[in-house]
Amino acid sequence: MVKNIILALALFTLTTPALAQVALCDQYAYHSANGYEILNNLWGMDSASSGSQCTYYNGPSGNGIAFSSDWTWQGNPNNVKSFIYANRMFTRRPVSDINSLPTTVQWSYNDTTDMRGNVAYDIFTHPDPEHTNSNGEYELMIWLADYGGIWPITESPTGTPVEQVTLAGHTWDFYTGRNGAMRVYSFLSAGGPIHSFSADVMEFFNYLITGYDFPAQEQYMLIYQFGPEAFTGGPFHFDAPLFQAEVQ
């Protein structure tokens, strides 16, 4: 009986296919799985003189997913070419009705030589819960890394932060500025890249509510995304073996 069970398990292992990686190479190629969605968001590719990018869904990981991306872009080094991302799908509600936004991410690059880019969380909010998730009235960014001398949107011509703050166990350079009509708040890691990050992102919202009069009762959270933003360089391989997030 034991031999038969072992044989059956061996046959099952041999005949059960491994989870296939999903490749996303078109400009806005999309895939959803396990409560997450991935977008190969090459929104600025037309500003490149050459280059390409493919993003991959690599399967479930812990309570989240694994994904990766290969990219190379040249031309117009101050223009964003892409922000591919994984997003936690959730029911939209006002920020004031959210108790916590726990998240954990692990990520790495194979190389960053001559790279211009960053790795960040990006959250949009808007008074209209049906508003598109590609922009908002407010934007909250948490930069876990920056490369090539770029800095967040700011009203400072020299890239000087407004102040330094300590949140979620890390020190951040805090920036604010406008991207058109949208008010942008950015927290850039002051201690270099954070490759393993676990936090409650509500800490960042609470900082904005207390210090910058962020109107939490009027603003619906639209998206909870994480990924690499690419300007120029490459070829590079970005890997996130774990991204998990919740809206509670």
Active site residues: 139, 229
Pairwise CA distance, residues 199 & 103, whole Å: 6
Residue type present at position 158: T
Pairwise CA distance, residues 207 & 230, whole Å: 28
Pairwise CA distance, residues 170 & 149, whole Å: 21
Question: Where do the DSSP E strands lie in 62-115?
Answer: 64-74, 82-83, 85-88, 102-109
Dig out the tokens for 215 from the structure. Answer: 């109107």
> By the 8 A CB rule, do 247 and 69 touch?
no
